[in-house]
Amino acid sequence: MSLLIDRRSLVRGGALGLGALVLPGGAAALAQLAAARGFTHSVASGEPQPESVLLWTRFVGAGDGGARVRAEVSETADFARVVAGGEAVTGPWRDWTVKLVATGLAPGRPYFYRFVADGQTSPVGRTKTLPAGRTRAARFAVFSCSNLPFGWFNAYGHAAARDDLDFALHLGDYLYEYARGSYPSAREAVADRVLEPAGEMIQLADYRTRYACYRADPDLQALHARLPMIASWDDHESANDSWEGGAENHTPGSEGEWSARKAAAMQAWREWMPVSDAPWGAYQIGDLATLLRTETRLLGRSQPPSLVPIFAAGGDLQAALTRFRDGAWQDPARTMLGFEQEAWIEAAIRRSVAAGTRWQIAGFGTIMGNTSTPAAVADWVPRDAPEIVQTRVKAGLVASSVGLPFNLDNWGGYPAARARFLKAAQSAGANLIVLAGDSHNGWAFDLVEGGKPAGVEFDTHSVSSPGFENYFRNIDPAQTARALVERNPELKWANTRDRGYMVIGLTPEAATSEWHFLETIRERTTRLAGTHRMRVRAGRRQLEAA
């Protein structure tokens, strides 16, 4: 999410601080958790559909032979009448997690659910099915980038306390892989937010333990128990800047084969998250919207391009970057989604429009809007900043001078794939809304292809991970945001200061994004510092103030 600033290099160089993880109560509480039996991590639900929902819990039995767990679903909190449910067997082979799908439910209504095993009863959760048919309104929360040691998950707590949301959408970086004291540094970490395991996530046991650590957070538990979640991974669920064949934060010589690490990350995700095994999927919100969950990291993403060889080669840098811009950068074979998923998403958008659905919404892990480095960034870097930071900011300025974006790990590194997606939306006549996270800051873009409007993009800021304000601490964040908007024609608004989450409100007439800014993440509180709103009216495909 930086101006060509490589996160792992910052970790190695000790620059400006990078991240770890935290458990309320500290390591002693985690030790107790590791020895716990019964229902250890409350409950969760996900994958809402008009007549079904996926239910999740974790039940640790007395021995290694496994346990049988029953789910019960009711229309009332007293469970006077159980209307759906099922049974599943769990054990150490799946880290004692339980997932099953409750079917035969009514569209667009709330339900209560719980689990029973060995005479014990789990906490009660609340979930909700998606509506069917004519739908006048829907509201859902959008989250990204929750780094436990950087601070409290106040965004989760704030959303969990609301009663006007239908579901939650998490766009990735649900957790982070780094070792304790890396990102954030020990100095930056919040007291008592202690990561487990202490080392980096590499093996299956590491990933499982990190999920257990995160899922012990009370605000995250409250969110899961309150709302069904539609979730997709980004890179940190495996390793920073991951793609199909590797990752920036993976060294095969010392950390094993990437295929093994990727498999471990995917297995732990599917065990610990209330998600289906399908890599991507569609969610129909009545006749109001089609929401498309995508996979943009581990299954089909091509290796992102890199400017490092160009800078290392020396010579006429401007000429070399121009050749790259006009050649390799435009490579149509490079894909963010993989060509199978590209075909699926194009067909899904066409079906949605043909069926008369008002909004077509695609959730991606990374930002699609064009972003280049403002010239003013040259004055933002502190004089005592590490040399690597100064070098990479200079590189970003040179790249920007020939029209290249500052982040080649997001859609900026895949311009041909971006063009294919936006042209497909234009051809279908879609009311396209793109949602993304990853950058840690809030953004709103008009998406343009071929000089014509293609849709809009709302990007959520992070739950706790730091944004631009952490790299340019001597600059007023409002100045940073203003320079970014002035430099980038598609960008209509930016917030480079606050943590929080986003709420999308849909009606047939308009789609509105509300960015909620938490007052702090250094202490546990749900006090808001402010809210910003923007909207797009149906058929306009351009943003306006709300």
Q: How far apart are CA 511 and CA 539, in angstroms?
A: 11
Instruction: Find, among 437, 431, 433, 429, the residue nearest to 445 by Cα.
Output: 433
> Among the residues of 161-247, which ranges form H helices?
204-214, 218-226
Reduced to 3 states (helix: H, G, I; strand: E, B; else coil), residue 408 is: coil
> Which among 210, 232, 90 is positioned nearest to 149, based on CA atoms?
210
DSSP alpha helix (H) spans, 215-367: 218-226, 252-255, 258-272, 308-313, 317-326, 339-354
Q: What is the pLDDT along the chain (546 residues), one digit of tens a residue?
A: 333 333 333 333 322 222 223 344 455 555 665 678 999 999 999 999 999 999 999 999 988 889 999 999 999 999 999 999 999 999 999 999 999 999 999 999 999 999 999 999 999 999 999 999 999 999 999 999 999 999 999 999 999 999 999 999 999 999 999 999 999 999 999 999 999 999 999 999 999 999 999 999 999 999 999 999 999 999 999 999 999 999 999 999 999 999 999 999 999 999 999 999 999 999 999 999 999 999 999 999 999 999 989 988 888 888 999 999 999 999 999 999 999 999 999 999 999 999 999 999 999 999 999 999 999 988 888 777 767 667 778 778 888 999 999 999 999 999 999 999 999 999 999 999 999 999 999 999 999 999 999 999 999 999 999 998 888 888 999 999 999 999 999 999 999 999 999 999 999 999 999 999 999 999 999 999 999 999 999 999 999 999
Phi, psi for 133 (deg, rounded to 5): 70, -150
443 contact partners, CB below 8 Å, separation of at least 6: 367, 369, 457, 458, 459, 491, 493, 494, 495
| Residues 184-202: b if buried by 16+ CB within 10 A, e if exposed | bbeebbbeebbbbbeebbb
List of residues 6+ apart from 482 with CB closer than 8 A: none
Residue located via tokens 């759906």: 84
CA–CA distance, 421 with 360 (Å, rounded to integer) = 13
What is the Cα 451 distance to its own chain's centre?
A: 29
Q: How many CB atoms lie within 10 A of CB 30?
A: 20
DSSP string, 490-501: TEEEEE-S--EE
Q: Which of 143, 154, 189, 188 is CA-nearest to residue 518?
A: 154
Lookup: tokens for 390: 């100064």
- pLDDT at residue number 14: 28
CB 280 within 8 A of CB 291: no
Question: Cα–Cα–Cα angle for 172, 177, 179, nearest 5°?
Answer: 150
How many C-beta atoms lie closer than 10 Å to residue 107's C-beta? 17
Q: How far apart are CA 83 and CA 81, in angstroms?
A: 6
- Report residue 102 CA to chain centroid gap: 26
Burial of 5 (0-12, 13-18, 19+ CB in 10 A): buried
Q: How far apart are CA 437 and CA 505, in angstroms?
A: 17
| Residue 347 CB coordination number (10 Å) | 12
pLDDT given for residue 132 in this prediction: 98
pLDDT of residue 390: 74
Backbone φ and ψ for 48, nearest 5 degrees, come out as: -65, 140
Q: Residue 314: helix, strand or coil by DSSP?
A: coil
Q: How far is CA 149 from CA 20, 205, 223, in A?
A: 5, 20, 19
What pTM did the predictor assign? 0.94
Q: Does a cis peptide bond (omega within 30 degrees of 0) precede residue 197?
A: yes
Which residues are paired to 345 by β-bridges?
none
| pLDDT one-digit tens code per residue, 239-297 | 999 999 999 999 999 999 999 999 999 999 999 999 999 999 999 999 999 999 999 99
Question: Cα separation of 177 and 238, whole Å?
Answer: 7
CA 458 to chain centre: 13
In one-letter notation, the amino acid at residue 21 is L
CA distance 459 to 157: 20
Q: Letter for the amino acid at 69?
A: V
Q: Can you give the pLDDT at residue 24?
A: 46
Cβ-contact 16, 187 below 8 angstroms? no
For the beta carbon of residue 109, count every other beta carbon within 10 angstroms.
12
Cα–Cα distance between 166 and 127 in angstroms, integer? Answer: 9
DSSP lists the bridge partners of residue 448 as 453
